[in-house]
Amino acid sequence: MANRESRNMKSNRGRKPKFDYTGEEFLSQVETYAKKGFTDREIAFALGLGPQTFCEKKSQYRELSEVLARGRATITAAVRAKFLAMALGGIKTKSTVVRKLKDKDGNLTGEEELQVSESELAPNLQAMSVWLYHHDEEWRKVERRQDEESDLHRENGIDIDKWMEENESED
């Protein structure tokens, strides 16, 4: 009888998990993948897990969800900063020529900038519009009004593209 009980206890434990889902090494790996823009499915495959298993572990371990959110917040902030920089335009440094300064014995004593090549980037109007649409309520109202007016013209008038397609086939 005692032998049977010990077998039952062993079978209730199940197999050892593939990862320590709250371990620093595992969470660091997940955060690295999230910072690279991987989706949950891609992270799961990269770790050797099934997407369903990864999803279950995410809901089971709060630390895993937090690490994913933190990694994605990092990349989102970087993309947002680049997007805003594109929208605003500015000056882009193409190349810099630097001369290394050495003393008589050949020891490095410093550097001197000789030439910097710069160009001006024009503001990107589409990026500006997208930024304003998502961050300015007044701009959003204007954009929606324009979309509604555009839809109204199509409903009450002739759809030029459709008319052209219909008349093109008659030739």
Confidence bin at 151 (pLDDT 50/70/90):
low
- HSE, side-chain direction, 13 A CA sphere, residue 46: 15
pLDDT for the residue 152 = 55
**Segment 20-76, tens digit of pLDDT:** 888 899 999 999 999 999 999 999 999 999 999 999 999 999 999 999 999 999 999
Strand, helix or coil at 10?
helix
Helices (H), 14-136: 24-35, 40-47, 51-60, 62-88, 125-135
- C-alpha span between 36 and 33 (Å, rounded): 5
**Segment 109-136, tens digit of pLDDT:** 777 767 777 788 888 899 998 888 888 8
- pLDDT tops 70 at residue 155: no
User: Mean of the per-residue pLDDT values for the chain?
Assistant: 81
Q: Are 30 and 43 in contact (CB under 8 A)?
A: yes
pLDDT for the residue 8 = 47
Whole-prediction pTM value?
0.53
